[in-house]
Amino acid sequence: MTENTKPTEPEKEKESGNEATQSILDFGSAMTHTPHGNVYCLTIIGQIEGHTTASNNAKTTKYEHVLPLLAKLEESDEVDGVLFLLNTVGGDVEAGLAIAELIAGMTKPTVSIVLGGSHSIGVPLAVAAKRSFAVPSAAMTIHPVRMSGTVIAAPQTYNYFQRLQERIVAFVSGHSQISAEKFQSLMLKKDDMAADVGSVLYGEEAVRLGIIDAVGGLSDGLACLYRQIGKDES
């Protein structure tokens, strides 16, 4: 009496496919093996969730997931470059800055593409990569720092707001071509939004002002990433 043995290679491929699918479901991420190198694609979407959990019906990017993942990607020999796809409404300022600082500190080739929108704290996230792109229809809202919950009306509170805003301005101006003064003026612009202070920029305008490096989509971002990988290898 004989028993059929299970083929090993197809099972491995099946397991690999399941892992890739689960990674997309859990983290919005995927690894792609290309002739140019291994590219890890990571999405930053919805609300940047900080120390407080967002509502159940909100799409979120959780910093406690992203931070260790970025550290892992930086150390991994299997990853040659990282592509960030952004469509975020903003969210927790310190969580967003933490993610942006980690992206900016990576030595691996990195490219970001703004799709849909990268608003509020999404602006530092967009400029954190070594090269940034935005599709023509992308939008970026720039406004002063806000805080929800109980706010104590004291000079120290306003001083904290100002210092936090200065951190954001310094990061954006330090990782893009826009000056701190110009970015600050966009934050405080009074005639661009009906019931708020700030500015709404679209893809080409964000490039013209020096916040984003170039107008482009997926093919442009990947081509740039491949060039970075090629330079690293040479």
Tell me which residues are annotated as active site. Answer: 120, 143
Closest C-alpha among 25, 46, 28 to residue 92: 46
Q: Which of 80, 111, 115, 128 is nearest to 223 (CA)?
A: 111
Region for residue 8 given its phi and psi (left: phi exceeds 0; alpha: psi -120 to 50; beta: otherwise): alpha
| 3 contact partners, CB below 8 Å, separation of at least 6 | none
- For residue 183, which amino acid is it? F
Residue 76: both structure tokens together: 């991994």
| DSSP for residue 106 | -
Is the Cβ–Cβ distance between 115 and 85 less than 8 Å? yes
User: Do 201 and 212 form a contact (C-beta atoms < 8 A)?
Assistant: no
